[in-house]
Structure formats: structure tokens, C-alpha cells
Amino acid sequence: MRSFRRMGNIRLMPTLRPFAPPDATAVAQLAAASPQAAQWSEASYAQLRESGGYAGWVAVAPDGSLAGFIISRTITTEAEILNLAVASQLRRSGIAAELLAFALENFTLAGVRRVYLEVRASNVPAIALYEKHAFVITGTRPNYYQYPTESAVLMEKLLTAPKS
Ligand SMILES: CC(C)(COP(=O)(O)OP(=O)(O)OC[C@H]1O[C@@H](n2cnc3c(N)ncnc32)[C@H](O)[C@@H]1OP(=O)(O)O)[C@@H](O)C(=O)NCCC(=O)NCCS
């Protein structure tokens, strides 16, 4: 678990911990309230840890509510970020940055050397977030998304093994 608060910000910040099946309802609700996020059923989240390679981390606000989450899938040395969202009233306070940094730390320690993702081309906040964490754009998939139809931007970040 990790607790954090921003310098100069007296508001208590969320605690980060691994996703657990009882988080499924809140995660599905937060995703549903974020149209740019991938939309999975609550049951998909509840069964997440039964499927090989899937992992997630959640940010929990001091009042116990879900502030944000990140979901990934790792296959040997590659990890895909499948979903990430932060509660709308808590955005721009560093929560996604903390979730992403936490996931990247865990990937590195698990031997992951390449992290990749797809994001809607119009999703300026998410693309800016990933670029700030040194993800680079590697291509696009035209008309990849539906409702509305839109291209996907492909991004990746290479990780280096921790020094022993
Ligand atoms: C994208 C999202 C997860 C960012 O969460 P957040 O907690 O607000 O992000 P942070 O506060 O950690 O911001 C980190 C950096 O991301 C970038 N960023 C975040 N929101 C931004 C915005 N609205 N406009 C421009 N840049 C933005 C900035 O570089 C920011 O650093 P700064 O605050 O020092 O400028 C959030 O907007 C969200 O939940 N969106 C809906 C779901 C979604 O788009 N998920 C991504 C699917 S791939």
C-alpha cells in the first residue's frame, strides 16, 4: 500500500492498493461514468484475477470511496494497460499519475520490459498523461473505436531492469 499527498496540498490524498474482487462494483461504476474509458461489465472485473496475467490497482479516497483505478494484462515481458480512470471530481490532482507510476514500478519488478496501450485520438488528457510518463506514439489504428467511430493512437514505453 502507498499513501501520498501532494506538496502544498493539504487535502488528504488516496491510498493505493492492489485491485480485489470486491472493488468490481465501484470500478465498473467509475468506468461507466467515464465515457473515454473502456466499458467492461461488473462481472468481468469480479473475475479479473481468475484470468491469467490480469492485474489492477485502485486509489481509495479517505472516505473509502473509489478515487481511481488502473487495469493491466501482462504476458511474459510485455504489459498492456487496458483501462484507467479517475473520479471526475478528483481529476488533475495527480491520482492517475500515481496509479500509472505504481503500475510501472510493479511491471519493472515483475520483469516487464515493454508497456503498451491504445487510446482514443481525441483523448487529450490521457495522451498528455502517458507522454508525461515517457510513453511514445508508435502508430494509429484508423476507425478502431465505435460509438463514436474514432482512430486509436498506439503508445508504448520501454522499461529497463532495476540495477541489482
Ligand atoms: C486521463 C485521466 C485518467 C487523468 O487522470 P488525472 O488523475 O486527472 O490525471 P493527473 O492529475 O494524474 O495528471 C497527470 C498529468 O496528465 C496530464 N493531464 C491530465 N489531465 C489533463 C487534461 N485535462 N488536459 C491536459 N493534460 C492533462 C497532465 O500532463 C498532468 O500533469 P499536470 O497536472 O502536472 O499538468 C482522467 O482524465 C480520466 O479518468 N479520464 C477519463 C477516462 C480515460 O480517458 N481513461 C484513459 C483510457 S486510455
Distance of CA 41 to the CA centre of its chain: 17
Question: Which residue has 510493479 as its cell numbers?
Answer: 106
**pLDDT of 41:** 94
- Find the Cα–Cα–Cα–Cα dihedral 31, 35, 37, 43, rounded to 10°: 40
- Torsions phi, psi of 21, nearest 5? -50, -35
Which atom, in ligand 1's list, is nearest to the CA of 132?
29
| Through-space distance between the first and last CA atoms of the chain, rounded to whole angstroms | 23
Q: How far is the CA of 89 from the centre of ligand 1 (A)?
A: 12
Hey, whose CA ends up nearest to atom 33 of ligand 1? 92
Q: What is the pTM (predicted TM-score) of this model? A: 0.93
**pLDDT of 107:** 97
**pLDDT of 11:** 53
Distance of CA 6 to the CA centre of its chain: 20
Q: How far is the CA of 86 from the centre of ligand 1 (A)?
A: 8
3-class SS at 109? helix
Which atom, in ligand 1's list, is nearest to the CA of 131?
29
Hey, whose CA ends up nearest to atom 18 of ligand 1? 125
Q: How far is the CA of 136 from the centre of ligand 1 (A)?
A: 16
Q: Are 126 and 119 in contact (CB under 8 A)?
A: yes
Q: Which amino acid is at 60?
A: V
Distance of CA 12 to the CA centre of its chain: 21
Which atom, in ligand 1's list, is nearest to the CA of 85?
39
**pLDDT of 8:** 45
pLDDT 10s per residue in the chain (164 long)? 554 444 344 455 789 999 999 999 999 999 999 999 999 999 999 998 888 899 999 999 999 999 999 999 999 999 999 999 999 999 999 999 999 999 999 999 999 999 999 999 999 999 999 999 999 999 999 999 998 999 999 999 999 988 87
- How many Å apart are CA 20 and CA 23, to the nearest integer? 6
Could you tell me the domains of the chain? 2-116 (3.40.630.30)
